[in-house]
Amino acid sequence: MTEKVEVRLTKGQRQKLVQITRTGKRSAREIVRAHILLKSAEGWSDEQIADAYNTSDNTVRRTRKRYVEGGLTAALGEQPRAGQPTKLSTEEERLLIALACSKPPAGRQRWTVRLLAEQAVARKLIQVVVPETVRSVLQKTR
């Protein structure tokens, strides 16, 4: 079993955490982490906190450890996630947006995502692209 890490909060930190739990303007994860830190400082056990906030003992231990190692911001914030790599480079996105802003091919009134995907590959702007990727790139430019 790992050694329990003790959480000590300053008055200012405690006030900030209470404010986070009461405003409801933060993500649910951040609010739960704030509750975890507050209850940890009050001496609650990991099991009590996990039961009270419907989370796991592991989440409580990780939050407490992140607070001690990196402070309040590290404990409340999200860790970077690996996720899926981007489909297009910044340059490819720029070229795709420029194509979408250009005049559509003869016989067409407007661009469609499928037509943009086909033309981007045909014009060798991008090696491979699917219409959904085109849609998501264009959605970001709104």
Q: Which two tokens stand for residue 128?
A: 């491979």
- Contact assessment for residue 60 and residue 40, using Cβ atoms and an 8 Å cutoff: yes
Distance between CA 32 and CA 11 in Å, rounded? 19
56 is in which domain, residue-wise? 11-76
Helices (H) and strands (E) in the chain, counts: 7, 0
Q: Is residue 6 in a domain?
A: no
Residue 64 has what pLDDT?
93
Distance between CA 117 and CA 123 in Å, rounded? 10
- What's this model's pTM, rounded to 2 decimal places? 0.60
| Residue 114 Cα to chain centre, angstroms | 29
Do 17 and 71 fall within a single domain? yes
Do 18 and 55 fall within a single domain? yes
Do 72 and 102 fall within a single domain? no
Do 72 and 39 fall within a single domain? yes
Q: What are 76-100's pLDDT values in tens digits?
A: 998 888 888 888 999 999 999 999 9
Do 38 and 94 fall within a single domain? no
Q: Is residue 70 in a domain?
A: yes
Q: What are 10-60's pLDDT values in tens digits?
A: 999 999 999 999 987 889 999 999 999 999 999 999 999 999 999 999 999
Q: Is residue 141 in a domain?
A: no
Q: How confident is the model at residue 6 (pLDDT cuts 50, 70, 90)?
A: confident
Residue 23 burial (CB count, 10 A)? 9
Do 19 and 58 fall within a single domain? yes
46 or 3: which carries more pLDDT confidence? Answer: 46
Do 16 and 56 fall within a single domain? yes
Do 66 and 95 fall within a single domain? no
Residue 63 has what pLDDT?
95
Last residue of a domain, one of 52, 76, 100: 76
DSSP letter for 45, please: -
Residue 3 has what pLDDT?
64
Do 70 and 94 fall within a single domain? no
Domain count, the chain: 2
Do 71 and 94 fall within a single domain? no
Do 27 and 71 fall within a single domain? yes
Q: Is the pLDDT of residue 142 over 80?
A: no
